[in-house]
Amino acid sequence: MKITIFTLFPEMVEPFFTSSIMKRAVEKALVSYEIVNFRDFADGVHKKADDIPYGGGAGMVLMPDPISKALDEYGAKGKRVVFPTPSGKPFTEKYAMDLSSESELFFICGHYEGLDQRVIDEYVTDEITIGDYVLSSGETASVVIIDALYRLIDGVISNESLEDESFSSNLLEYPQYTRPARYCTKSVPDVLLTGHHGHITQWRCDKRLEKTMLNRPDLLSNASLSIEERERLLKILDSEDKRNSQRWMLSEL
Ligand code: ADE
């Protein structure tokens, strides 16, 4: 996959591509990237890329010209162009999966009060929000979106790692433990030391249900639980009085 990022602050984005798992994905040629400073496409000695909003109001708006020249130069027109913005559609694992199947993606990093609407109308295919809060820069949001999607590309990380993680089957991930078996006063759950795969799988399944119930009960109504899983969920609920408040969720399943 080729990823092109249009930004006024390349230094905010570059380290992500030269570190950790992304670095390896780039070395293995599973991902290639280009970071474009669209100020280079602005006119005048000051290379001005933003201006005050028509109609008044606080802050500055990114001007259409520099960014559209950059988008044209890099052939973004007609391709999948993502613009992270608090007023976009919510980003989810499913959305990440959809984007990960593209061979080419473009990201426009907004700043200040945003981007001239005409550029959005002309080029942007996906306005995406990463959550109901406002960030000061589109760079951080772009990196979050890229991080979630590139790891789903075949060969970036093992399929096994993807299988049990949070949001697969609309359940959160089970807790993980490593050595030492005893840390401060806390021990690793006995079942994980037994080497009994069946019991470990069952324990992990219970923990996924339990954690989802506690932290994200909203996900359960979209989780296609087996009859056995529903029964286990009922058992978990019965054994824990404090979760009574979430009982109503079961009637929704
Ligand atoms: N830019 C600023 N806030 C954002 C958000 N919540 N999601 C995506 N892009 C943003």
Supply the CATH number for residue 216's domain: 1.10.1270.20
Please say whether the beta carbons of 41 and 73 come within 8 A: yes
Give the pLDDT score at 242.
53
pLDDT value of residue 191: 98
**Cβ–ligand 1 contact at 86 (below 6 Å):** yes
Q: Which residues contact 120 (CB under 8 A, 6 or more apart)?
A: 83, 127
pLDDT for 247 equals 62
Residue 135, ligand 1, Cβ within 6 A: yes
What tokens does 25 get?
Answer: 């994905």
Contact 143, 40 (CB under 8 A): no
Q: How far is the CA of 7 from the centre of ligand 1 (A)?
A: 14
- CA proximity to 86, closest of 137, 149, 139, 131: 131
Tokens of 104: 């080419």
List average pLDDT for each run of 10 residues in the chain, which is 253 residues long: 98 98 98 98 95 94 97 98 97 97 98 90 98 96 98 93 83 96 97 97 95 94 91 85 60 67
Distance 6 CA to ligand 1 centre (A): 15
Helix count and strand count (H, E) for the chain = 11, 9
Say whether both 89 and 185 belong to one domain.
no
Given a contact cutoff of 8 angstroms between Cβ atoms, the answer to whether 208 and 174 are in contact is yes
The pLDDT score that the predictor gives to residue 185 is 97
Please check whether residues 237 and 144 belong to one and the same domain. no
Question: Which residues, in sequence order, are CB contacts of 210 under 8 Å at separation 6+?
Answer: 236
**Ligand 1 centroid from CA 140, angstroms:** 8
- Domain of residue 206 covers 168-252
Test site for ligand 1: of 108, 130, 142, most ligand atoms within 8 A of the Cβ: 130
Strand blocks (E) in the chain: 2-7, 32-37, 50-51, 61-62, 81-90, 104-108, 126-129, 182-183, 186-187
Q: How far is the CA of 26 from the centre of ligand 1 (A)?
A: 26
**186 and 120, same domain (yes or no):** no
Mutate to test the pocket of ligand 1, among 5, 85, 87, 89 (most ligand atoms within 8 A of CB): 85
Ligand 1 contact, 84 CB (< 6 A)? yes
The pLDDT value recorded for residue 38 is 97
The closest of 118, 13, 11 to 61, measured between CA atoms, is: 118
Q: What is the Å distance from ligand 1's center to 82 Cα?
A: 12
From 159, 178, 200, the end of a domain falls on: 159
Residues 66 and 147 in one domain: yes
Q: How high is the pLDDT of residue 161?
A: 79
Are residue 147 and residue 174 in the same domain, yes or no? no
Residue 127 CA to ligand 1 centre (angstroms): 10
102 and 6 in a common domain: yes
Q: Which amino acid is at 68?
A: S
Same domain, yes or no, for 127 and 220? no
Domain boundary pick from 159, 189, 205:
159
How many domains are contained in the chain? 2
